[in-house]
Amino acid sequence: MDKILFLGREYEVVHTKGFTNGARFNNGKLEVITRIKSKAELKRVLKNWYRKQAKDILECQVARLNKEHGYNINRVCIKNQKSLWGSCSSERNLNFNMKLVMVPLEVIDYIIIHELTHIDHLNHSKRFWAKVAERCPDYKMHEKYLKDKNLMSKFREFL
């Protein structure tokens, strides 16, 4: 793995040895620093970085969109799922895939709106899709992006 996606942009990954584990953007690249320079350690640190970025970004976007649309959610969880971008339970718990931070922010917002709409409609009925379209008129374009990019499988072995 020499490239990753973050918020819709591709970045080269540079693996360096250092005193602490972490990752940072440096000169347009993602520098992943590990104490032990191994592929397994690179994967572990990058996975932790993705999870933290997802938590920060998704919680911020959920709070903004939740306030905008007036929902009362219970909890937001970030997971590393194999096939779902997000889910919503009848208890108003929202789950999101940490891989969502690979896509542009407007696609993240669509997934959040999709899951928030499930609070009122725990199905994919015509009323559900009408409400999604009202809140996110470009939702079909965002769904196409997710399918065309095939991101779920693209980085499966890495994350």
Q: What is the pLDDT of residue 82?
A: 82
Report domain extents, the chain: 3-154
What is the pTM for the complete model shown? 0.90
Classify the phi-psi angles of 133: left when phi > 0, otherwise alpha if psi is within -120 to 50, otherwise beta: alpha
Does domain 3-154 match CATH 3.30.450.260?
Answer: no
Query: Percent of the chain, pLDDT > 70?
Result: 94
85-119: b (≥16 Cβ within 10 Å) or e:
bbbbeeeeebbbbbbbbbbeeebbbbbbbbbbbbb
Q: What is the pLDDT of residue 149?
A: 73
d(CA 159, CA 146): 17
Each residue's pLDDT tens digit, 66-124: 899 888 899 999 998 888 999 999 999 999 999 999 999 999 999 999 999 999 999 99
Each residue's pLDDT tens digit, 34-63: 999 888 999 999 999 999 999 999 999 999
Q: What is the pLDDT of residue 72?
A: 85
Each residue's pLDDT tens digit, 6-27: 999 999 999 999 998 999 999 9
